[in-house]
Chain A
Amino acid sequence: MAEASPGAVVPTAAPAQAERSTLWRRWQEFRLIGQDPVLALGLMAVGAFVFVFVVWPLVRVIVQGFFDPQTGEFSTVYFAQYIDPYYRGYNYWVLRNTLVMGVATAAGGTLLGFIFAYTMVRCNVPFPRLLHTLALLPTISPPFAIAIATILLFGRAGLVTKRILGMEFGPGANDVYGLDGLVFVQIVTFFSVAYLIIRAMLERLDPAMEEAALSLGASKYYIFRTVTLPLLIPGLAGSFLLLFVESLADLGNPLLLGGNVSVLSVEIFLAINGQYDQQKGAALSLVLLIPTLTVFLLQRYVVSRRSYIAVTGKPTGGHLQVKEPWIRWTFIGITGLMLLLVLALYASILIGSLTRLWGIDYTPDLTHYRTAFTRGLNAILSTTFLSAVATPVAGLIGMVIAFLVVRKAFSGKEALDFASNLGGAVPGTILGIGYILAFINAPMGVVAVIYALLAAYLISTAVDGWSRRLAVLAGATAVGYGINWLPYYLGLDEDGWRWLLVVGFLALALMAGRGAVPEKRRGAVAVLVGMALMLALYNLAPLVTDPLARWGRTLSGLIASRVVTKSASMLKVFLQPTMAILAFTYLVAGLYPVAQMRPGWRVPLAAGILALSASPMFFGTPLALVGTPYIVIAAYAVRSLPASVRAGVAALQQIDPAIEEASTSLGADAGYTFRHVTLPLILPAFIAGLIFAFARHMTSLSAIIFLTTAEWPILTVWILSEVEQGGMSVAAAYSMILIAIVLVAIGLTYLVVGRAFTARPDVDLTVGGG
């Protein structure tokens, strides 16, 4: 980003300063950011999240690939295996399988997606909305639902293969297990994504060009070949690349259907979960990361920049419709057949979940649902709850990033955009391994960096002069750190320590009451009292949750009892957050009361807030999140972040900045403008983004599989285990329940926000997942 020459930037700079002038300019920029509180706050909150939950775990994985976890020595043993003739054969075989699978799925899915999109946009197909909805079914079902259905229908004992066709599978027979079956399942699973991308492209295609060619006497085929297709190439390439990545990242389908064929994602899973070889897992992750990142960069910097179609925000005029009946009906026919297949697959899940023993006894019964609701109730409740909590988190962070990226100029913008997309684009297994590595112990270095950043900003709003800043920062931190030792000497327990902090915050509130600018006094005091209240609630939570859990256990009905008991732990998620997370919140929220103080009062208040935040920040093992529900929430939010950002960016680009500028020039500040002008305009897209985020959370597997715990089991992981334990039918029942939950969520949102969907039907579904 140091594109300008130093002299040009600071023309008046003395020669000695010119050497540092890029740094100087960067620093000036940061100071400017610091003066824009909305930008500074948003950037710090979002930047901290992205750094902690995307960048840091990925760095940990990359480092782990080069170090022996036992001895800590540098070693490249697993990379050397790609050269070693003894291992080379197997390693290249796995790599080849992975790439063949990726290319075949991407090609097949894109072709199918194109046929679908062309039919829907150009062929005047009957029941367009119904067909559109059906085509989107695979995006809201668990990642291996299609694999289950395929085994039910086309397996060795499948309904079609065995019952209808009477096929026998002797030695060496070609069956659905293996690379071909895997590619089939992945195509069906991922073609919806291709369909959405290409459809969006086709709809935005300006018909004027084709009409011009037509009036010049070109034939239909000639126009398609020389006008339509070249215009579509960015869309086709984009879809190809995305499908390639999705296919490589997929874990559920290869685990179920791979047969004797192994691919990288399975090897990584086995290395980590079977062999307990973190270095091998991390090294293989790096190998998988190379094609993924290449494709990600290609898509981001080459393909999307070649797009010839401007997003004007205005709908283009009518589209050219295909007139020749044989072309039209061929396309409609293929689409119809394909949808029938999709329908058949889903019907087999439904019927499979309702029959006693698939393949042997087709009597309908409900035992599988009974099993699912008793055995898996905890998983159903946990997953729905965590997905729902992660949804606004992802939505808010995504919206803030989108706002910063579209409306603000600052250095590091590209990095922020890139990093926020990265978390959803890398295969989930890699992110999951990164989370285990990064958060099993307290990442003290990361906590310290973030604390230092936030604290330094807080101090800089209150204190002038860097030596005084350093003194206050060091002093307040030392005091806060000292508070942590107090209970050790006073013999207090953890609750007592928290009561101590509560008293401290109330004292600060008193101080704020005296020292604030009169008209802002109430707000400043309220924030500080709120901080005290959060800590007090933490201590008081057991008074509510324990009796609730106790009462739940005494309830007679199994379901009622579990639901009540579970709701006690759900309450705890809100009332008893990890101390470090609370401390981050305090440091950010503390900016407000400090800004409302009269000059003399700022320093003591800032120092007080800093000390009282430093204490919980470094209490115990901060951010050792493995095993807590927060890490699942974070993983969910990171996986769906790119989609939220895209939704936000697309929505914001539709709004002319002039509207916001008008608001600003009429005297509204940035916050008021955002709340009263920007937000209402982007709300529909925001809501639509939320729904897709929720669906993505509910169906994600590969990152989460390493993070589930006994207290918070995750449905997709549970299903994968139930396929082997309870059989296909139980797994099918779980899949139906999951689909139903997502559908209910979509329906509820429809009811609440009305026509959110129709406002922007092409919300970007296309990043991350699996």
Chain B
Amino acid sequence: MRRIGLFSLLVIVVLLLAACPAPPPPATAPEGGAAAGEAAAAPSGELNLLCTPQVQWCEGMKAEFEKRYPDITVNFVRMSSGESLTRLRNERDNPQFDIWWGGPIDSFIAAKQEGLLEAYDSPNHANLADPEKYLDPDKYWVGIYVGTLGFATNKNWLAENPGVEPPRSWDDLLKPEFQGQIMVAHPSSSGTSYTALCTILQIKGEEEGWEFLKQYAGQVLQFTKSGAAPAKFVGQGEAAVGIVFSHDIVAEIENGAPLELTFPEEGTGYEIGGMGIVAGAKNLENAKLWYDWALEPATQELGPKYQAYQAPTVKGAQAARPELLQVTLIDYDFQWCGENKKAFVDKFTNEIAGAENLRK
């Protein structure tokens, strides 16, 4: 009897415990309220920022925000928008970030659909230049910058290959001289690359677009993780042409990289960079402070200080490089691209990136 004793004892206890509901975290509600009250008095504590634009800008914004609120420590991680979305999904029940700042709004639309964001009616929404375009009707996300897609071509490479012109249309990318010379991020991890993919699908229509993408993928040397990376690699001469947001190309040119910036003539896609508070944010009050602060004109003019030349979305802020927006733009359908993001990315990953022409 005895020897079965402890076993059955164990089994019973385990079953009992597993069956028990977890007790509610004791009295967190009144405590949270008290903490919020304190925060209103003197904002302090931490803010965990999920940052998608270039790391230099993230770093700069962190420093600027801490200057404004000296008692708040901002921790940030830079992740591509696809990675960010995945993170938020993974951490749905136990969110580690408070606010997500930057990255094309297709991802924010997807995040809103999945209930990963929290609506916030900021008083600073009034600052927006075009609320219809830049604000989610349910106030789950807001646009904080605008940028257009462009091509970066290495000038030295052009000099070494006389007769080759930098690409001026999407079809130029399929020219034989660019075989294995194009760099672009992987659309599953990067919003930049997804914007390019969705632009092509909108210009060419779905059927022809996928056919084009198949050939385009065959021209690519390496898919990078982050959208701006091809500008770096092309600047260094590792590849000849990169498909990148034009503001990132401008920043690289400023760093001394020998790049030529061109735009596709038939029209290029553009991004609205989004921002949203993470559902269940543990530092909600601080996240709101950041949200309000990011929509101030003075904040939006900080970009160029950190080599971020995206155009602002609020009234009263001057664009540092207005010429980047004065190109042929397509009527980019953010809703369509956002809603189909998972389907398109899966199709690209499973069918295009592995297509026959890639296997040399």
A357 B75 Cβ-Cβ under 8 A: no
Closest 7 A/B residue pairs (Cβ):
A466-B5, A157-B237, A274-B188, A90-B354, A724-B229, A487-B26, A448-B17
Contacts of B97 in A (CB 8 A): 710
Question: Given A172-B179, A493-B26, A710-B76, do A274 and B48 touch, yes or no (CB 8 Å)?
Answer: no
Contacts of B13 in A (CB 8 A): 448, 451-452, 455-456, 473-474, 477
- Tell whether A324 is near chain B: CB-to-CB under 8 Å: no
Q: How far is the CA of A277 from the CA of B97 in the complex (A)?
A: 21
A270 B31 Cβ-Cβ under 8 A: no
A273 B22 Cβ-Cβ under 8 A: no
B256 A360 Cβ-Cβ under 8 A: yes
Q: Which residue of A lies closest to B181 (CB)?
A: A171
* B window 328-360: CB within 8 A of A: 342, 345-346, 349-350, 353-354, 356, 358-360
Which of A23, A87, A270 interacts with B188 by CB under 8 Å?
A: A270
Which of A374, A460, A709 interacts with B59 by CB under 8 Å?
A: A374
Number of B residues, CB within 8 Å of A? 92
B189 A274 Cβ-Cβ under 8 A: yes
* Interface segment, one of A220-228, A254-262, A671-679, A755-763: A254-262
* Interface segment, one of A105-113, A434-442, A636-644: A434-442
A98 to chain B, nearest CB (A): 14
A729 to chain B, nearest CB (A): 10
Q: Which of B26, B66, B77, B83 has the most CB of A within 10 A?
A: B26
Q: Which residue of A lies closest to B224 (CB)?
A: A724
A472 to chain B, nearest CB (A): 10
6 contacts between A and B (CB under 8 A): A276-B89, A276-B90, A360-B257, A484-B26, A493-B26, A627-B96
A721 B55 Cβ-Cβ under 8 A: yes
* A window 407-459: CB within 8 A of B: 436, 440-442, 444-445, 447-449, 451-453, 455-456
B77 A709 Cβ-Cβ under 8 A: yes
Contacts of B10 in A (CB 8 A): 452-453, 456
B55 A627 Cβ-Cβ under 8 A: no
Which of B1, B93, B236, B359 interacts with A441 by CB under 8 Å?
A: B93
- Tell whether A727 is near chain B: CB-to-CB under 8 Å: yes
Residues in chain B within 8 A of chain A (CB atoms): 1-3, 5-6, 9-10, 12-14, 16-18, 20, 22-28, 30-31, 44, 46, 48-50, 54-56, 59, 66, 70-71, 73, 75-79, 82-83, 85-86, 89-91, 93-94, 96-97, 160-161, 176-181, 186, 188-189, 220-222, 224-226, 228-229, 232, 235-239, 255-258, 342, 345-346, 349-350, 353-354, 356, 358-360
A452 B6 Cβ-Cβ under 8 A: no
A274 B345 Cβ-Cβ under 8 A: yes
A83 to chain B, nearest CB (A): 15
Residues in chain A within 8 A of chain B (CB atoms): 23-24, 27, 87, 89-90, 93-94, 151, 155-157, 162, 168, 170-173, 177, 255, 258-260, 262, 270, 272-277, 356-361, 374-375, 378, 436, 440-442, 444-445, 447-449, 451-453, 455-456, 460, 466-467, 469-470, 473-474, 477, 481, 484-488, 491-494, 497, 549-550, 553-554, 565, 618-621, 624, 626-627, 708-711, 713, 720-728
Contacts of B94 in A (CB 8 A): 440-441, 621, 624, 626-627
B190 to chain A, nearest CB (A): 9
Q: Which residue of A lies closest to B62 (CB)?
A: A375
Contacts of A722 in B (CB 8 A): 55
Q: How far is the CA of A720 from the CA of B189 in the complex (A)?
A: 14
Which of B27, B96, B232, B239 interacts with A724 by CB under 8 Å?
A: B232
Question: Given A151-B238, A260-B220, A710-B96, do A442 and B14 touch, yes or no (CB 8 Å)?
Answer: no
B70 A553 Cβ-Cβ under 8 A: yes
A469 B91 Cβ-Cβ under 8 A: no
Contacts of B225 in A (CB 8 A): 255, 720-721, 724
A60 to chain B, nearest CB (A): 13
B180 A171 Cβ-Cβ under 8 A: yes
Question: Given A157-B236, A470-B12, A627-B96, do A276 and B221 touch, yes or no (CB 8 Å)?
Answer: no
B28 A494 Cβ-Cβ under 8 A: yes
B6 A456 Cβ-Cβ under 8 A: yes
Q: Which residue of B lies closest to A255 (CB)?
A: B225
Q: Given A274-B349, A721-B55, output 6 extra A-B contacts at Cβ < 8 Å.
A: A171-B179, A260-B221, A448-B17, A485-B23, A554-B70, A725-B229
Contacts of A361 in B (CB 8 A): 256
B46 A711 Cβ-Cβ under 8 A: yes
Question: Given A452-B10, A494-B31, A624-B94, do A618 and B22 touch, yes or no (CB 8 Å)?
Answer: yes
Which of A89, A272, A713 interacts with B77 by CB under 8 Å?
A: A713
Which of A170, A262, A436, A710 interacts with B50 by CB under 8 Å?
A: A710
A273 B83 Cβ-Cβ under 8 A: yes
Q: How far is the CA of A444 from the CA of B20 in the complex (A)?
A: 9
A450 to chain B, nearest CB (A): 10
Q: Which residue of A lies closest to B75 (CB)?
A: A710
Q: Which residue of B lies closest to A447 (CB)?
A: B17
B17 A491 Cβ-Cβ under 8 A: no
Question: Given A375-B59, A378-B75, A728-B236, do A481 and B27 touch, yes or no (CB 8 Å)?
Answer: no
Q: Which residue of A lies closest to B31 (CB)?
A: A493
Contacts of B257 in A (CB 8 A): 357, 360
Contacts of A360 in B (CB 8 A): 235-237, 256-258
Q: Which of A24, A276, A550 has the most CB of B within 10 A?
A: A276
A725 B54 Cβ-Cβ under 8 A: yes
Contacts of B46 in A (CB 8 A): 711
Q: How far is the CA of A37 from the CA of B232 in the complex (A)?
A: 61
